[in-house]
Chain A
Amino acid sequence: MATQTLPEFIADVTGLGTYGVGGEIVAAIIGAGIVGTIMLTYTGIAGPWAKRKITAAFTDRYAVNRMGPFGLLTIPADAVRLLSKELIIPENVDRPAFDIAPLIVAGSALLGFAVIPMGSLFGINLQIADPEAGLAFVFAVASIATLGLTMAGYASANKFSFMGALRAIAQNIAYEIPLVLTAASVVLFAGSLQMSEIVAAQTLGGGTEPLLAVAGLEIPPWFAFVNPFAFVLFMIANLAEVGRNPFDIPEAPTEIVAGYQTEYSSVYFVLIYLGEFLHIFLGGAIAATVFLGGPAGPILPGFVWFTIKIWGVFLFTQWARSAVPRVRIDQLISIGWKGMLVLSFVNLILTAVLVGVIV
Chain B
Amino acid sequence: MIGILKGMATTMKHALKGEKFTVQYPEETPEVSARFRGVHKFSQERCIWCRQCENVCPNDTIHIVTDDQRQGEEYNLHIGQCIYCRLCEEVCPVDAILLTQNFEFTGDTKDELVYNKEQLKNVPWYKDIDPLESREPDRGAWIGEGDGEVDYQ
Contacts and interface: CB of A to CB of B under 8 A. Distances in A.
Please tell me whether chains A and B touch each other in their complex, using a CB distance cut-off of 8 A. Answer: yes
Contacts of A323: 4, 7-8, 10-11
Contacts of B7: 323-324
Given A60-B21, A61-B20, A61-B21, A319 B14 contact: no
Interface in B68-106: none
A62 B22 CA distance: 7
Given A60-B19, A61-B20, A62-B22, A324 B14 contact: no
Contact of B15 (A58, A320, A324): A58
B12 A319 contact: yes
Interface residues of B, number: 14
A57 B19 CA distance: 9
Size band of the interface chain A makes with B: 10 to 19
B153 to A, nearest CB: 49
Contacts, number: 35
A59 interface: yes
Interface string A61-105: 110000000000000000000000000000000000000000000
Contacts of B10: 323
The secondary-structure label for the interface of chain A is: helix
A319 B20 contact: no
Interface in A20-61: 54, 57-61
Interface of B: 4, 7-8, 10-12, 14-15, 18-22, 24
19 contacts: A54-B15, A57-B15, A57-B18, A58-B11, A58-B12, A59-B14, A60-B20, A60-B21, A60-B22, A61-B22, A62-B20, A62-B22, A320-B8, A323-B4, A323-B7, A323-B8, A323-B10, A324-B4, A324-B7
